[in-house]
Structure 1
Amino acid sequence: MRILTAAAGLALLLGTSLGAAAADVYAPYDPNPAPPAPAAFDYGDTDLVIFLGIGGTVTPQYDGADDYELSPRPIINVEYLSIPGIGAFGGKDGLGFSIGPSFGYVGERDASDFDGLDGLDDVDDTYELGVRAGYEWDHAEIYGAVRYAFGGADGVVGDIGANLISRPTERLVLKAGPTASFASSDYMDAYFGVTTSESFNTGGRLEPYDPDGGFKSVGVAASARYEVYTDWFVDADASYARLIGDAKDSPIVEAGDANQFTFGLGVSKRFSLDLW
């Protein structure tokens, strides 16, 4: 039921985005209307424009799980940054090249909490810290992020993607497009590997497995941001990812589900700061 709820949210958000994009193309009363211009912001001498907020996300209980849980998540997005002597990243209208921090967090995986993992070693909380960069045009964007993971799992993780963008109104921005994630072998081993002793502890239910690094998943994601009041926004996002490669072949995933859904909702505020 939780999977169906997440899938329904994804389908609804994608349908809204695609429907809005189609409405931008033409209407019966005007065969060639001009596309709406992106909302323009005058930040003056501002050096930093950043979105900060909080939300909740429905995600699988662990990578490859077929059950879901609700957890809090921070919203941190650097839209514009100007550094004296170096230059500016991102446009003051939100377009162009942007760069900012990228964070990730994976909660502790206590094997005894899940019937399918009973017998495996626990994995402590994992923290991910890195950088995200992207380039946005009026109606499209590309992006990528890379993070170093430490704690329960060590290694490098990241994701890449692209989006089509629709702006039905000055207050609403819709995005949808393909995504892919990757991870190093150490990270993959922590969440998808099974040692010989762990296999023995499961009574042979999970066979020994030593995954390599590489692409972890491919999928599609969609998001919506609506400005409900000046500089205050409601953010919604949904995604579907299919575990691939060595991740999909893990006996942990075979006992769960390679299809992974997420759905998030939050509130954020745009801050414009004069730093220098």
Structure 2
Amino acid sequence: MSRSCVETEIQMTAIRSFSAVAFAAAVTVAVPATTAQAADDYGASAPPGIEFELGAAANVAPRYEGASEMLVTPVPLIKINRLTLPNGFQIGGRDRGGLSVSPSFNVRGARKSADTPALTGLSDVDLAIEFGAEISYEAEYFRLHANLRRGFGGHEGWAGEAGADLIVRPMEGLRVSAGPRISYADNRYMDTYFSVPAGTAGFAAFNADGGIKSYGVGVGLRQDFDNSWAIIGEAGYDRLTGDAGSSPVTAVGSRDQFSVRLGVVRKFRFDF
């Protein structure tokens, strides 16, 4: 990879990291009341304060959706576990089980023909930040979850994922989950990433419509060593389908999308 490409990736990583931190700070204040539970619903009342996790991970994923080339980038890991206000209003704090609604965000890197010569002729797509919400239900041995986000920047459509996981805890502090996944997007998202305008040199015209865009499987692992540190690992496989799989953009890359992430987090608690 050329020096200019390396510098570009570093700049993109910095933008992603800043966006994630800024959003996490915002949702800490603005998360909707639908995620709240009274403190006594969790047993002993938690003192006013906040519990959260900060960390970093190495992420291996396709350079863009539909690419065959893989890219390694550092990513921030941020999670708000509990926020309890002085009036007893509490968000989070439940170890296992229950229905919850929480913020969801994602960052999609820019797609540039300068990085992938096979895309020469197609318009570049800027970096996009997605904001939305996730709803989930977790019991002792399974979890159901779905999210939906609106894009800003590179695309202005809606996209999300849904899945179901089986959960096992084979030893103290270790949590392993795995299950099927689907992803979906509306017409504006699909048009941005998978449509090809008529007259584009080297590509047949193609109009991508919204719908299910991939199906696959995800695996997650978390090992908590103590009250301060944990290791997190994730792996996934997705197969692009529908118009996403049939697009000429995908034809110069791959319908098979793999991803791996490994990171470490530090847990923090501050009482008000």
Indicate the TM-score class for this superposition, using the shorter chain for normalisation.
Answer: 0.7 to 0.9
Which residue is 1:219 aligned to? 216
RMSD after superposition? 2.4
Q: For 2:97 and 2:203, how far apart are their aligned partners in 1? A: 49
Q: Where do residues 85-164 of structure 1 align in structure 2 (5 Å cutoff)?
A: 88-164=90-166
The amino acid that maps onto 1:264 is R
Which residue is 2:205 aligned to? 208
Q: What 5-or-longer segments of structure 1 have no aligned partner? A: 1-39
- Indicate conservation of the 8 Å contact 2:46/2:84, yes or no: no
Identity %: 36
Q: 1:60 to 1:44 in 2, by over 3 A?
A: same
Q: For 2:228 and 2:165, how far apart are their aligned partners in 1? A: 23
Q: 1:141 to 1:87 in 2, by over 3 A?
A: farther
Deviation at 1:92, TM superposition (A): 2.7
Residues 1:268 and 2:265 aligned together: yes
Q: Which structure ranks higher in relative contact order (CA pairs < 8 Å, sequence separation ≥ 6)?
A: 1
Q: For 2:187 and 2:267, how far apart are their aligned partners in 1? A: 38
The amino acid that maps onto 2:222 is R
Give the stretch that moved more between structures: 76-85 or 184-193.
76-85
- Indicate conservation of the 8 Å contact 1:147/1:158, yes or no: yes
Which residue is 1:77 aligned to? 79
Deviation at 1:225, TM superposition (A): 0.5
Q: 1:161 to 1:214 in 2, by over 3 A?
A: same
Q: Deviations over 1:114-161 (max 9, x none)?
A: 132111111111111112221111111011111110101111111111
Residues 1:249 and 2:246 aligned together: yes
- Indicate conservation of the 8 Å contact 2:48/2:85, yes or no: no
Deviation at 1:84, TM superposition (A): 7.9
Q: 1:243 to 1:119 in 2, by over 3 A?
A: same
The amino acid that maps onto 1:265 is L
Q: What 5-or-longer segments of structure 2 have no aligned partner? A: 1-41
Q: For 1:79 and 1:196, how far apart are their aligned partners in 2? A: 49
Q: For 1:81 and 1:131, how far apart are their aligned partners in 2? A: 17
Which residue is 1:259 aligned to? 256
Q: 1:247 to 1:147 in 2, by over 3 A?
A: same
Q: Secondary structure at the match of 1:229?
A: coil
